[in-house]
A and B are shown apart, each in its own frame.
Chain A
Amino acid sequence: MRRPVSLYGLTFSLPLLIWQLLFFVFPLLFLVALSFWTVKNFVMSPDFDTVNWTTMYGRAVFWQAYGATFALAAGAAALTSILAFPCAYAIAFKLSDTARRWAVFLMVIPFFTSYLVRVYSWQIFLSDNGIINVMLGWIGLGPYPLLNTVGATMVGYLTLSFPLVVLLQLFSLVFIDRTLIEAAHNMRCGRVRTVFEVVIPSARVGLVIAALFAFILSFGDFVSPIYLGGGDPTTLSILITDTTKSGQQWPRAAVIALTMIGTLMVVAFAAVQFAYKGKTK
């Protein structure tokens, strides 16, 4: 093989490495150090004290938020995956090549619109005098309190991850070997059954990864729980913003952040294991 180390090679590989070390890895490591600092009279000082960890982990509020966030994110991942699948499936198998290209293009657009603006827009739909309640009023229903509910938070999470999940699912579905589907049909496997016996197992990696991304995005999001969910239940991300705002409690916010990262790593690892392993079920 070629010699891996040369000035030429380093010119291309080092800049990103240095940048991500300096501004990605170090900040995260610094967060670890920060979690052991102490705060006295609104002033942080370097220290090695586990007080932040014990304080946070000793609080019921923290664990409630943790449970709520985890449940919400897991729910969002499941809901998004289930709602996205028929859409991705239909795009993959029921549209012409041209229509499919357009569908993909349209699904990419939301990535380049501000998530904040879309969340605000949902407020217009969901508020007490909003579009949905006005329309329900026409047929003599409502008004229902839609905003500041868990349902509204879910709408926000869907706004955040639905397009990505559809695209990831679609990506794994279009690469399914069509002859596998034909072979299943050929062996008495009907339409619906083929989806569960062949399509889903074939696309398994993509489907799991898509759900994982929905989980990651929802788990860390603070916009939907605040501006659509009304801050109730308190999620970890809300807790972080609150903690940072209140009296320089950065070290405690670091504890929350690190706990979130730890959780995400465990979930991601488990998901990847589940996706790739056990092909024999």
Chain B
Amino acid sequence: MSGSGAESINRSRGVDWALKGYILLAYLFVFAPIAASFVFSFNSDRFPSIPLGSFSLEWYEAVAADPLVWQGLRNTLVVGVVVGVISTLLGFGAAYTDYRYKFAGKQVYLALALLPPTIPVIILGLAMLAYLSRINLSGNALSVIIAHVVVCAPFAMAIIRLRLSQMDPALEPAAWNLGASEWKTMRHVIVPFTKPAILGALFITMAVSFDEFAVAWFVSGLNETLPVKVLGFLQGQVSPRINAIGTFVFVLSMTLVILAQLLLSGKGANDRAPADDKE
């Protein structure tokens, strides 16, 4: 498009550079803790600061030697995978419902589908623990799964709904018109079209579950997930191990997110390639 030409008269180089410098500062602030956590996970000092001590894997070793951490990791992975699958299934259903149907009370339905992440986790955790212990579901991995699905399903729904909104609304009726039943259309048209978003939602919800600690802390009882373990370390001041676990979980989460990103943008971009071609 145009615009580039207006820069020379309607823009000030100084202001532009100052703003770009500000962007850098902002990203510095955002990434400072992430980078520090990474760097200090390989640092030998017990009380991390600068100048850096020697390179060391002792925190990774300490973490690896802790059977509770391994158990936490196993819990995290199991919970994460199950949460991802259930959230994605529920989210898909809700997204499709929103895409296709108009009905009385739809606003309420959508509110239920999207509100949970806006309720502070501490309140959610409290309510969940009180409620689940009442129906004898608290204190185990199942309770963490239940609670996490409540929080994760809305993310899955949002991601899949976005993909559905890119679909030509005539596709589904066209399939019916060609003799496909609703179920067959779902299987052969809707699901294939939304597949990248479905996988994306799966990975994103897993990643969200991996990092969620507050609700899990409340409801997990003895079946602690890894983030809950981190919370324990934070309380116990046995600190640099947090960096090791943090770095490990970060790498795991980012792998999932990048996978999701590739699926969402790669596939999506291909479908719309002709439209992107402006010239």
Contact = CB atoms under 8 A, between A and B. Distances in A.
A19 B149 contact: yes
Interface stretch (A53-61, A128-136, A144-152, A196-204): A128-136
Interface string A203-233: 0000000000100110111110001000000
Interface in A225-261: 227, 237, 240-241, 244, 250, 253-254, 257, 260-261
B101 A13 contact: yes
Given A87-B26, A216-B120, A8 B36 contact: no
A209 to B, nearest CB: 11
Interface residues of B, number: 88
B250 A117 contact: yes
Contacts of B128: 23, 27
A243 B90 CA distance: 34
B130 A113 contact: no
Give the interface residue-count category, chain A: 35 or more
Contact of A89 (B19, B50, B127): B19
Contact of B234 (A120, A131, A166): A120
A109 B32 CA distance: 13
Nearest to A213: B118
Contacts of B12: 191
B109 A87 contact: no
B2 to A, nearest CB: 10
Which residue among B50, B118, B126, B182 has the maximum number of chain A CB atoms within 10 Å of its CB?
B126
Contacts of A244: 126
Contacts of B147: 23
Interface of A: 1-2, 4, 6, 8-9, 11-17, 19-21, 23-28, 30-31, 34, 83-84, 86-87, 89-91, 94-95, 103, 105-110, 112-125, 127, 129-131, 134-135, 158-159, 162-163, 166, 178, 182, 185, 191, 213, 216-217, 219-223, 227, 237, 240-241, 244, 250, 253-254, 257, 260-261, 264, 268
20 contacts: A2-B101, A4-B101, A16-B97, A16-B153, A27-B128, A27-B131, A28-B127, A30-B131, A31-B130, A90-B22, A106-B27, A112-B257, A114-B230, A119-B234, A121-B37, A125-B36, A127-B47, A163-B30, A216-B120, A250-B130
